[in-house]
């Protein structure tokens, strides 16, 4: 474990009670207004936007395309990042980083960076898994975040800042490889994918989630293709229907985790509000509207949802739907009641799906040694703080 010591706010010192607002929470339209109010020509807004999101500047002083008086005026009014790394961990195999961020009000959120090499049919990937809420109100019983309760929504800037931080990590690694001659500039990989699967329910923070997507997808900003952005949901039916009408060609991942109402309601309280029949109707409408497949997340819980009967029910439920199932052996939490199924049970479950024509994979596990599962590092850090205070 390493403690973060670098201040990346890019603002002048202020008291903890009155922090400056983050400029990452200023929309593109509002940024144009801010620049005009400061007496600058319109093209300065484009330069500022590019410095923030394309270049990833950590301070206003780094924005050398802007005049010094303009930079000074910005620094008086804003800080850059609204998040600060509190704990930064790396897995023993070097493939996974996890960062516990502290927000300006003291709340804690988690972000994970996963490095994937060439796997025979796909290029190397650098995937960031980000949070959209501090905590979560939906209470899934196998999820560490769900066991902690809901704290608040994250702003668009707090969501985007997680990706910007992890991109700096990757850019630093790439620069080192180029400097030592291990790779050429056109051979290194930047952030390729972002998945909204960290702490919280993205579609319960709909507007701020979509605001962050607009920034990530912006051609003059982070320029991450919409097809490389995946939004996960436990199954909020009205928001799934709303998402289908958005202009972005996003990936949708639905956390299903059981093929029938009785099983699903035991582990996912949201199922009582949006039962499976209603959820699947929305999913089929989503595919018909967007012509894009849906990814179904299915956490395998030993003796709870991993029987051959469950597999056959799941196959029947998904017949004829353009979809892919990601099977995920559960990463047990200290306070959770579930265990991982053994390899034989997982293999049998997958075999039944495959024989039924349902595309599926077992998700490659990363970062188990650094509590990379959603909410686990925050829970551990809070427990450590309690023990220290005793």
> Is 110 annotated in the active site?
yes
> Is 180 annotated in the active site?
no
Cα separation, 122 vs 128, in Å, equals 17
For residues 96 and 58, membership in a common domain is answered with no
**Mean pLDDT split into 10-residue runs, the chain, 390 residues:** 39 60 97 96 96 97 96 97 96 94 96 84 86 93 82 97 98 94 88 96 98 96 96 98 97 97 95 98 98 97 94 98 95 75 93 98 71 55 45
* 149: three-class secondary structure by DSSP: coil
Residue 58's domain comprises 22-77
Q: Which of 195, 172, 372, 389 is nearest to 295 (CA)?
A: 195
Give the domain-ending residue among 34, 59, 77. 77
Cα separation, 305 vs 308, in Å, equals 9
Of 86, 190, 374, 387, the catalytic one is 374
For residues 89 and 30, membership in a common domain is answered with no
Q: Which of 350, 276, 374, 286 is nearest to 322 (CA)?
A: 286
Sequence-separated (6 or more) residues with CB below 8 Å from residue 334:
379
Q: What is the pLDDT of residue 17?
A: 63
Q: What is the pLDDT of residue 12?
A: 44
Whether 9 is covered by a domain: the verdict is: no
* DSSP string of 45-74, one letter each residue: HHHHHHHHHTS--SSGGG-TTS-HHHHHHH
For residues 254 and 341, membership in a common domain is answered with yes
Residue the block writes with tokens 């080192």: 176
For residues 95 and 67, membership in a common domain is answered with no
Angle among Cα 258, 261, 266 to the nearest 5 degrees reads: 70
Q: Is the dihedral of CA 148, 328, 96, 25 positive or negative?
A: negative
Task: Provide the CATH number for the domain around residue 61.
Answer: 1.10.150.530
Give the domain-ending residue among 39, 54, 77. 77
Task: Provide the CATH number for the domain around residue 148.
Answer: 3.20.20.70
Angle among Cα 241, 134, 49 to the nearest 5 degrees reads: 75
Of 75, 110, 239, 304, the catalytic one is 110
Residue the block writes with tokens 């309760």: 149
Which residues partner with 193 through β-bridges?
A: 127
Q: What is the pLDDT of residue 21?
A: 97
Q: What is the pLDDT of residue 13?
A: 47
54 and 221 Cβ atoms separated by less than 8 Å: yes
Whether 358 is covered by a domain: the verdict is: yes
For residues 88 and 73, membership in a common domain is answered with no
* The overall pTM is greater than 0.85: yes
196 and 132 Cβ atoms separated by less than 8 Å: yes
For residues 105 and 39, membership in a common domain is answered with no
């Amino acid at each position: 474990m390493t403690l973060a010591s670098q201040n990346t706010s890019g603002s002048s010192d202020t008291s903890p009670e009155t922090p400056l607002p983050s400029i990452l929470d200023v929309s593109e339209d509002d940024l144009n207004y801010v620049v005009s109010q400061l007496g600058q020509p319109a093209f300065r807004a484009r330069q500022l936007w590019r410095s923030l999101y394309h270049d990833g500047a950590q301070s206003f002083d780094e924005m050398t395309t802007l005049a010094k008086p303009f930079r000074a005026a910005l620094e008086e009014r804003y800080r850059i990042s609204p998040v600060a790394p509190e704990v930064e961990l790396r897995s023993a195999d070097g493939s996974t980083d996890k960062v516990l961020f502290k927000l300006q009000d003291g709340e804690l959120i988690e972000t994970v960076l996963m490095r994937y090499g060439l796997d025979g049919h796909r290029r190397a990937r650098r995937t960031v898994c980000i949070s959209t809420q501090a905590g979560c109100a939906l209470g899934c019983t196998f999820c560490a975040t769900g066991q902690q309760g809901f704290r608040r929504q994250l702003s668009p800037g707090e969501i985007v800042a997680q990706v910007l931080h992890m991109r700096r990590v990757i850019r630093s690694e790439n620069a080192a490889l180029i400097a030592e001659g291990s790779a050429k500039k056109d051979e290194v990989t930047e952030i390729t994918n972002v998945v909204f699967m960290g702490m919280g329910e993205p579609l319960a923070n709909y507007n701020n989630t979509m605001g962050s997507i607009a920034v990530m997808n912006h051609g003059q900003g982070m320029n991450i293709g919409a097809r490389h952005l995946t939004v996960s949901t436990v199954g909020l039916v009205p928001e799934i229907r709303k998402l289908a009408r958005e202009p972005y060609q996003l990936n949708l991942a639905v956390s299903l985790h059981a093929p029938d109402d009785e099983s699903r309601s035991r582990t996912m309280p949201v199922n009582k509000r949006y039962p499976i029949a209603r959820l699947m109707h929305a999913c089929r409408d989503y595919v018909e509207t967007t012509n894009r497949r849906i990814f179904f997340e299915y956490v395998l819980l030993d003796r709870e949802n991993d029987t051959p009967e469950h597999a056959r029910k799941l196959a029947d439920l998904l017949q004829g739907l353009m979809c892919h199932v990601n099977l995920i052996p559960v990463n047990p939490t200290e306070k959770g009641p579930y265990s991982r199924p053994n390899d034989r049970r997982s293999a049998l479950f997958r075999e039944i799906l495959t024989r039924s024509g349902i595309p599926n994979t077992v998700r490659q596990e990363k970062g188990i040694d650094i509590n990379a599962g959603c909410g686990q590092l925050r829970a551990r850090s809070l427990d450590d703080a309690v023990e220290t205070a005793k």
